[in-house]
A = this chain, B = another copy of it.
Amino acid sequence: MRCAVTASFNPSDNHILGALPSEVGQRLLPLLELVRMPLGKVLYESGDALQHVYFPTNCIVSLLYVLENGSSAEISVVGNEGMIGIALFMGGESTPSRAIVQSAGYAYKLLGQRLKEEFHNNGSMQVLLLRYTQALITQMAQTAVCNRHHSVDQQLCRWLLLSLDRLKDNQLTMTQELIANMLGVRREGVTEAAGKLQKLGVIAYHRGSIEVLDRPQLEQLSCECYAVVKRESDRLMPRPI
């Protein structure tokens, strides 16, 4: 059964891999390893020298900044539209962030050295990765403004939408505690905000799993930040094939 699941993936499930010209795809194919991404797995810690990069298929990875006092905030989300480990080709080899699997699934893993070689071939991989990086920058920047000016209610909506876009169904496996860590707020704050959404019939919550029932309303309740990031990503990133 597990084998059947893994066999059902294809590198082009990831938008970056899928957008590469076939000759590049052929070159990389034997180097890609499909790996399981269990919930909570830490891909790298703040300051770690990165050894591999990951191209998600159906998993979601959060990039978190953690403060000295232990509080944290998510600065961006990566799903099958992107890649984890941009610091490698940017030249830094490490970043002050933590990458942690927020929704379980699979990803293609590639040796960092291989990615750097491909990047410095100056070909389509470079173009794709740079455009993706700009989309990521937009997401971080918008998160910064959002953290400053929008309510927890609005931010929860934004966050649900960001996650939803990276999954195939409308079912999230996610405790309120975890969401609170991502948003950098109290767990009780998430409880309250999620309660409102549940009363409105937008979501159905049940012990660690959320079903989104009314996505249009979720978009209405969200702050503009979701739409800004989405629009910019669509502009910058290749369409799925």
Interface residues of A (CB under 8 A from B): 63, 65, 67-68, 71-73, 75, 87, 89-92, 95-97, 120, 122, 127, 130-131, 133-134, 136-138, 140-145, 147-149, 184, 224, 228, 232, 235-236
The 6 tightest CB contacts between A and B, nearest first, are A144-B144, A90-B134, A147-B147, A148-B184, A65-B145, A75-B141
**Complex contacts, A232 vs chain B, CB 8 Å:** 92, 96
Total identical chains:
2
Which of B90, B92, B134, B142 is in CB contact (< 8 Å) with A65? B142
CB atoms of A91 and B137 under 8 A apart:
no
17 CB contacts below 8 A, A to B, read: A63-B141, A65-B144, A65-B145, A67-B224, A72-B145, A75-B141, A87-B134, A90-B137, A92-B131, A96-B138, A122-B122, A136-B137, A137-B140, A144-B144, A144-B147, A148-B184, A149-B184
**Complex contacts, A224 vs chain B, CB 8 Å:** 67-68
CB atoms of B89 and A130 under 8 A apart:
yes
Known pairs A96-B232, A134-B95, A224-B67; A145 contacts B89 (CB<8 A): no
